[in-house]
Structure 1
């Protein structure tokens, strides 16, 4: 199976995201389009667009960037409580039609400022039960007509999405990515997702999770094509190993100065996957060959919690080891975003294509 390499575009209201230089036009259409076009020019398939209340609407940003590009594929993060499944299925089918099949979707079930847009909290089991129904119904609406569905959370009657999603080589509909490390999340992924995304965990941990998810798929009677796997991680690449580590350690020292043990994200320690990453620091500052865990101690969250650090050759070697475990989708990033899109596209991706 071929490998796919995507990046990350930070649709943020506040400038300076993860070390990106502060500028007044950081989230303008021109700035984001420049990044999307650079991705096309430097070997990337597309980019993940994050979601959350208080950020620019992810679907709107994705549609705007798709209109200004020709091959860029937005991986659009969406929340089941923000969208109703039929509304989302229709919107995504329309954008997929207009772009010639360039839409990808990342379903997010983690906590957010739900009350701000009229959603309710629910316990973990309830959240993932709703996510399961969302995935089931969106897929049905993309692949069937006159759909009637009666779930606990969502219902539709004789619903047909127009325009129809066109089945294309290697995908019957927009690929459905999903993350989550809890038992409830993994049971949803094993049966309903197309791609399970992992954060930057050590190789042995990823191997164990892939084995468990494959076994769960069999146990729970997965009805779709075999589950695929992806890695979302920061790749801190410099010309040499020595330069990479010197700059990585200097950047973490600056993070420690700015964030001495305080974090803005109230959900930082409630998500199982995030907590798994934070716990890695207790096992060592560097795991495997070059998985740097210290950023998570000083404000690094999500993909910025752990970094793969090194020369292009070092990082390519590490990514190949994840590939050998079964990872075929890679969502990479580092800041400044535009510089790293170009540099890693030119220096790292050719090594992974060999």
Structure 2
């Protein structure tokens, strides 16, 4: 399987609060990327956040050796030809260390960028977009005219490093499932229960079979993790987070997701109902799966909480459901990356596509310095 960490803010002990957030500087991202690289993760997700994910990812290439960048891209914001060129450029410069997360967004987010398509229109747009993009990444010259996309004799002069960068994607609506089944290499879900994940996997795989792609699509899930040496200590850590979820922060997060047209977000919100009960364990929606983070964070809002043995057991539940990829994180990102890597990661069969010929500039500098000291 593959296990990716997370490389997008906000970050800190309590990042939903000004007094609990951490400054996100370029040196900090370098430090975090280096940690993810040497701790044994497959890579990390660079999602939509305060920084542009493509600039951020490109700037970190020289500081890592094996780090696989999963970088978000919003179809309506970029020409498919331009994105194809960006993909192959990044792929060449990183020597094959790129995956692309196609993000449809929601109406509120896309309106900030001047895009005003309805929910299903966004997926119809993405369907046309990926039809063009995947052909370009195969090295074809493309002429295509649809309802939204029109390109003439389009091509990408730069070939991929080895093979086209894989495309990842998430979405919980029927329209999203159809797009994933038709075009996508890895379909992602936010942190629903293993049973819910299994239902979605079964549906998307059946749709993929209709396109002759049942064996070409795999499945992943995005989760937070609160792992400690014992279950009691893990719930103490969750309690600390919970006690710092103030009314103002909860109200702000819930106001943003109110009326949102993202089906995935609606499913996440239903897990906690937008309320903070006195006992945080009331938000334990399945064994060791806690929905409390969704109170202060839109998007994925569930966390695995427990001892290493319990977290591993729950991960196995997801694997049994058909999950092959985990995207996990904790707060703060740096410290929890070490904790998960020490307590859980060694017990997972992690696949790292290591290229022994890839050596970063900073690794060469480090090795030279060590030789001088010797």
TM-score normalised to the size of structure 2? Answer: 0.84
2:320 equivalent in structure 1: 324
| Mapping of residues 142-157 of structure 1, within 5 Å | 142-157=137-152
* Residue equivalent to 1:9: 7
Query: In the alignment, which of 176, 185, 188 is matched to residue 197 of structure 1?
Result: 188
Q: Secondary structure at the match of 1:281?
A: coil
Quote how far apart the aligned CAs of 1:152 are: 1.8
Aligned pairs, how many?
340
The match for 2:38 among 38, 41, 53 is 41
- Residues 260-269 or 100-109, more deviating: 260-269
Deviation of the 1:265 alpha carbon: 6.0
- Asked which structure has the greater RCO (Cα within 8 Å, sep 6+), the reply is 2
- 1:99-178 map, 5 Å: 99-111=94-106, 112-117=108-113, 119-167=114-162, 172-178=163-169
Distance in 2 (alpha carbons) for counterparts of 1:252 and 1:16: 10
Which one of 89, 94, 114 corresponds to residue 89 of structure 2? 94
Rounded Cα–Cα distance in structure 1 between residues aligned with 2:148 and 2:100 = 20
Deviation larger for 240-249 or 281-290: 281-290
CA contact (8 A) 2:205 2:214 kept: no
1:299-310 superposed matches below 5 A = 299-303=296-300, 305-310=301-306
Say whether residues 1:250 and 2:246 are aligned partners: no
1:59 to 38, 47, 54: 54
Look up the SS of the partner of 1:81 in the other structure.
helix
2:283 is the alignment partner of 1:280: no
Of 202, 214, 217, the match for 2:205: 214
Deviations 1:253-295 (A, max 9, x none): 2214553544276345422111112212369522332111233
Which one is further off, 61-70 or 228-237? Answer: 61-70
**Unpaired runs of at least 5, structure 2:** 274-280, 351-374
User: Distance between the aligned counterparts of 2:111 and 2:302, measured in 1?
Assistant: 31
CA contact (8 A) 1:192 1:222 kept: no
Give the secondary-structure state (helix, strand or coil) at the position aligned to 1:96: helix
Secondary structure class of the residue paired with 1:162 = coil
TM value normalised by structure 1: 0.89
Gaps of 5+ in 1: none
Mapped partners of 1:7, 1:327: distance in 2: 16
SS of the counterpart of 2:160? coil
Q: Secondary structure at the match of 1:101?
A: coil
